[in-house]
Every structure is written in structure tokens, then in C-alpha cells.
Amino acid sequence: MDTTAPESKEHLPMLFGSEFAATIQVEVCQKRTSAARAEDVKMHVMNLLQRHPVIYRDYTWSKFDNEFLQKHVNSVAVVDTEMHLVDSKAVDLLNSQLQLHIFQLWEDGPATEELEQDNEALSAASHWLLPAAEFQGLWENLVYDNEIKSNLLQYITTTILFSDMNVDSNVISWNRVVLLHGPPGTGKTSLCKALAQKLSIRLSGRYKFGQLIEINSHSLFSKWFSESGKLVMKMFQKIQDLIDDKESLICVLIDEVESLTASRSSSLAGTEPSDAIRVVNTLLTQIDQIKRYPNVIILTTSNLTGKIDMAFVDRADIKQYIGPPSAAAIFKIYLSGLEELMKCHIIHPRQQLLNLRQLGRMNFVKSKVSDLSLQLRDIASKSQGLSGRTLRKIPFLAHALYVQESPVSLECFLECLSKTVDRQFCENDIFISPH
């Protein structure tokens, strides 16, 4: 069993690279108050895994019978197992290569980065130290239909590998820019934050900590419109100061990037003010300057890709569409919500729900074992068209609107869930239909 943590450059590509599919990721959250050595934590975690050599899905331990783990560790999570379960029913930890990532969470919330303009303070960005407690678990709870998350991790791996191997960027170009685009409510911003959090954990052997700077695009491009180009430059000067710390991973998030990258063709045609041109030019110049630093990633989102300047689009290495969830993704979202409600005893007694893979093995035939899971599948199917943001609220609304008793049975709650979905579509129609 390989327990080597990624503490050197030659180990780094294994995090998500060509050997990623054969590697089990184990994320160990060490208590902030703990001063235990990483080697000691690894030893006790390995003993825990040896006592539980087979798992059937991602699994997290938060309660321990080991005194050392009780004192020093918040949780041990075996993650990203789904790809290993395609052709098998279980993951054999004893005969797998393990990558252990030991990290501590920063409990403080975001700080505010301010810029001075005309003797006034402008809130220009929010600034987190990573990994942050408020983002813990966010990555695992984002559900997509394809390999979006693993592709993003693979992109970061290649970025690091090319930098480590001194690939000449004049021969092969990459810009460290990711653009996630799609309709509102599909989780683009959450995915950017979750990616920054995940990178700070997976690269904890390389960087002492991560930092996430979320730029407030609207602030930079509103009150002092004629000064927006200068404000963007000031903001990136602050970011440059952070990048200079080589022991820190810097993730820059520009949400609704079209606010800063409005197409220059519109400006030249006279439909947009000329200051928009200066802002775009400044932003592109700053991206070109910081892309040579190996410890920075720029994450951007957009709801209106048609308004983005093509020079910025061209600089994005990955342009990933994030669309509304499919029925399969919705099923997973609902399933995780119901599991959470059963864990909290809001739904009681606990009953087993099968995932889609297990239902598929039963050919989706109705039985006492599969009945409730098939009902959930039907609810997920008719929920298509709702945004991811709305879907996460459906279980809450179901309880608030229709549950008459506490705790509630799973059978009753599924009925309430179905009614809530129907109601949500009716409410949406009111806003869509002309008055």
C-alpha cells in the first residue's frame, strides 16, 4: 500500500494525471488546534483504513474509536471512488494505491480587499484563506452529468506539469484561465470556489495554503466608471503581491466576467463607452503578465458569453459549458438531500434508497426493495428544466409547504417532494408568461 503524500514535484502529476484513475484519494482534515506531525497522522489514518479495507462508495469517518484520531482529526474521507466502481461493486483499499492529503481548515470568513478612490474606500474583492471551513464539502455536493470536475482537475495537473518541466510557453501556449459559462443557477460560481478549495487540499504538499480572491466586477465598473481601467490595474497589483509568495496557491475568481470584458467591437461601434475598451485592455494585459507564474489560476464565469470580448475568450484554456442538470444528475441531488434529512432524523425511520447504478443492475424492475427509489427517479425525471439552485431548495420547500408531521416517513416525504416540483413549475410559469 503506497502512502506517499505529494511532497515533491515529481509526485505531483500523480494527483490527477495519467495514474489518477488507479489512485484512491484520501483527504484527512486535521483539527486546527492539533500540532501533531503529519507522519503520525498518516500512520493512524492508515491503521483506520486497514481496519475498513472495502468501501462501496465515497465514505467519511467523523467519529473514531482511536484516541489519537479523536484528539487530532476532524474527518477522514475517501473520495472520488465513483470512477473505480464502474466495473466493480466495491473498492479494495488494501490493494489500491492511496494518496493521503492532510490539511487544516481556516475558520475565518472572507476579508474585504479595499481600493482607495477619491478618498473613498471601494470594496473591490473578497479574500479567503484556503482550505476554508465554509467551502468544506462543496465539491462533493456539486453534481454534473459528465466529467466536468475531473476534467478541471486534469487541466490543473497539466498546467503544473508543463510549468515544472519548463515547457517553453512561446512554443506551446497556456494562460491559466478557466471560463465556465451557461445559464444562471447552474452552479458555476460554486464550482469555481469548490475547485479552489479542492486544489488547496490536493496540493497541500506543495503549497502551505491557498488564497481565493473573488473580484467584485460590478464595483470596479460602476461608481467610478471613468476610472475603471485604473481600478482594475490597482486590483491586480494587489494580486501580484500575493502571487509573489511562492508558498501560496492563488486562485482569482471573476464572476460574471462579461462585466469587465464587454466586447470592444460594441465600443468601437459607439454602442458602449470608450472606457470599456480601457478596462478590457487592462484586464488582458494583467492576465498576460501573471500567466508566467506557476502558482496562480484565474477562474471566470459568464451568463452572457455573447457579450465577452473574443480576445478574452481566446485566452481561456478551458471554455466549459455548465447547463441545467439532467434527470440522472437531479436524481443524485435529491438522493443526497434525502440522505441528509434521514441523517438528521427529519425523515424517520431511515430507509435504504438505491442509486441509479444499483437500480440498473435490477433492470429498474419494481419491487419492495426498489419501489421508493423508482418513485424518486420519476420525480427527478419530471424535475428537468429546474435550475440546480432551485433543485437544492425543493426538499426544504417540500417540508415547509406540505409536511404535516415530524418526523415524517420517507413515503410521505416523496409525495410532498412530487407536489413541490409541480408547484415550482406553476410558479415559474407565472413569471414567464406575459401578464
Q: Which one has a higher pLDDT value, 308 or 145? A: 308
Count of C-beta atoms within a 10 Å radius of residue 366: 11
| Span 286-321, pLDDT tens digits | 999 999 999 999 999 999 888 888 999 999 999 999
- Confidence band for 17, pLDDT divided at 50, 70 and 90: very low
Query: Is-contact 184 387, C-beta < 8 A?
Result: yes
Indicate yes or no: pTM above 0.85: yes
Whether the pLDDT of residue 4 is over 80: the answer is no
Long-range contacts, stretch 52-61, CB < 8 angstroms, 24+ apart:
52/93, 53/92, 53/93, 53/94, 54/90, 54/91, 54/92, 54/93, 55/81, 55/90, 55/91, 55/93, 56/85, 56/89, 56/90, 56/91, 57/81, 57/82, 57/85, 57/355, 58/82, 58/140
| Span 237-285, pLDDT tens digits | 999 999 999 999 999 999 989 888 775 655 555 545 567 788 888 899 9
What pLDDT was estimated at residue 65? 94
What pLDDT was estimated at residue 6? 39
What pLDDT was estimated at residue 307? 83
Whether the pLDDT of residue 386 is over 90: the answer is yes
- Confidence band for 3, pLDDT divided at 50, 70 and 90: very low
Lowest-confidence segment of 26-30, 141-145, 200-204, 314-318 by average pLDDT? 141-145
| Span 177-220, pLDDT tens digits | 999 999 998 999 999 999 999 999 999 989 999 999 999 887 77
Show Cβ contacts of residue 306 under 8 Å, excluding neighbours closer than 6 positions.
none
Q: Which CATH superfamily is domain 111-321 in?
A: P-loop containing nucleotide triphosphate hydrolases (3.40.50.300)
| Span 94-122, pLDDT tens digits | 888 999 999 999 999 999 998 877 777 88
Residue recorded with cell 461601434 = 269
What pLDDT was estimated at residue 431? 77
Whether the pLDDT of residue 232 is over 90: the answer is no
What pLDDT was estimated at residue 22? 61
* Dist. CA 26–CA 29, nearest whole Å: 10
Whether the pLDDT of residue 18 is over 60: the answer is no
* Dist. CA 180–CA 320, nearest whole Å: 5
CA 305, 309, 313 angle in degrees (round to 5)? 65
What pLDDT was estimated at residue 214? 97
What pLDDT was estimated at residue 221? 64
| Span 43-96, pLDDT tens digits | 999 999 999 999 888 899 999 999 999 999 999 999 988 766 665 678 888 888
Whether the pLDDT of residue 422 is over 90: the answer is yes
Say if residue 29 is exposed, middle or buried (CB neighbours under 10 Å; 0-12, 13-18, 19+).
buried
- C-alpha distance from residue 149 to each of 16, 138, 155, 260, 293 (Å): 11, 12, 10, 26, 24
* Dist. CA 216–CA 255, nearest whole Å: 8
- Confidence band for 433, pLDDT divided at 50, 70 and 90: low
What ranges do the domains of the chain cover?
Answer: 9-103, 111-321, 327-432
Lowest-confidence segment of 25-34, 220-229, 368-377 by average pLDDT? 220-229
* Dist. CA 197–CA 346, nearest whole Å: 30
Comparing CA positions, the residue from 278, 291, 213, 207 lying closest to residue 249 is 207
Average pLDDT, the chain: 88
